[in-house]
Amino acid sequence: MKRVYVNEEWCLACHLCEYNCAFANSGMKDMVKALKGKKIYPRIQVEVGTDENSRAISYAVSCRHCEEPLCVKSCITGALHLEDGVICSDKEKCVGCYTCILSCPYGCIMPSEEGNVIQKCELCTKNENGQPACVAGCPNRAIVFEDRGVPSAEEECAFDEEGGAE
């Protein structure tokens, strides 16, 4: 399955992905109308180092669409579910208990703009874009949409232990 992958080496911390995400999920046709004067709630977020030594390091974080997602397991209402491998959230079923937010090891689920339900990256399958907007708008190809197969257990662990994925 194609997933969104981020290469830290090429991330410029321009934060364009966040704006493209917010626009894609706004349901509007005009970016200015959709985002002007508003606080954005993107489903992809750029993490930037906070001190002198790490300031040059940045990468975007969004749902990794795990093979065995803890968020789906933890969902008490069945709002989080898999659709062809894409982890999707059903707003009608979500009760805003935020258990999924607590259980996601990557911190990729967040409360939605309305505040009473969660939101997460659905690879733009639920909006008009069809293809991930963050990928299309990345000026340095730091975010890519590729089929790299199923990550092995070791690869998943390596991310945690070494503090960075390949």
Partner 1 sequence: MLPQDYIYPEFTVVRNQDKCIACRVCERQCANQVHSFDTEKGIMVADDSKCVCCARCVSLCPVHALQITESQHTFRPNANWSGQAINEIYKQSSTSAALLSSMGNPNDYPVYWDHILINASQVTNPSIDPLREPMETKTSLGKRTSSITRNPDGSIQTTMAPHIELSTPVMFSAMSYGAISYNAHESLARAATNLGICYNTGEGGLHKDFFKYGPNTIVQVASGRFGVHKDFLEAGCAIEIKMGQGAKPGIGGHLPGAKITADVSATRMIPQGTDAISPAPHHDIYSIEDLRQLVYSLKEATAYTKPVIVKIAAVHNVAAIASGVARGGADIIAIDGFRGGTGAAPTRIRDNVGIPIELALAAVDQRLREEGIRNQVSIVCGGSIRSSADMVKAICLGADAVYLGTAALLALGCHLCRTCQTGKCNWGIATQRPDLVKRLNPEIGHVRLENLVTAWTREMKEMMGGMGINSIEAMRGNRLMLRGVGLNDRELTILGIKHAGE
Site residues for partner 1 per CB under 8 A: 9-16, 19-20, 23, 31-32, 35-37, 56, 137, 139-142
Least distance (Å) between residue 50 CB and partner 1:
15
CA distances from 52 to 55, 109, 142 (A): 6, 28, 23
- DSSP-assigned letters across all residues of 22-50: HHHTTT-S-HHHHHTT-----SSEEEE--
Task: Name which of 56 and 147 has its Cβ closer to partner 1.
Answer: 56
Task: Name which of 18 and 88 has its Cβ closer to partner 1.
Answer: 18
Least distance (Å) between residue 49 CB and partner 1:
11
3 state SS of 138: coil
Task: Name which of 55 and 73 has its Cβ closer to partner 1.
Answer: 55
Q: Are 17 and 60 in contact (CB under 8 A)?
A: yes
Least distance (Å) between residue 12 CB and partner 1:
6
Task: Name which of 107 and 139 has its Cβ closer to partner 1.
Answer: 139
Tokens of 105: 């090891």
Place of tokens 């985002």: 35
Least distance (Å) between residue 7 CB and partner 1:
9
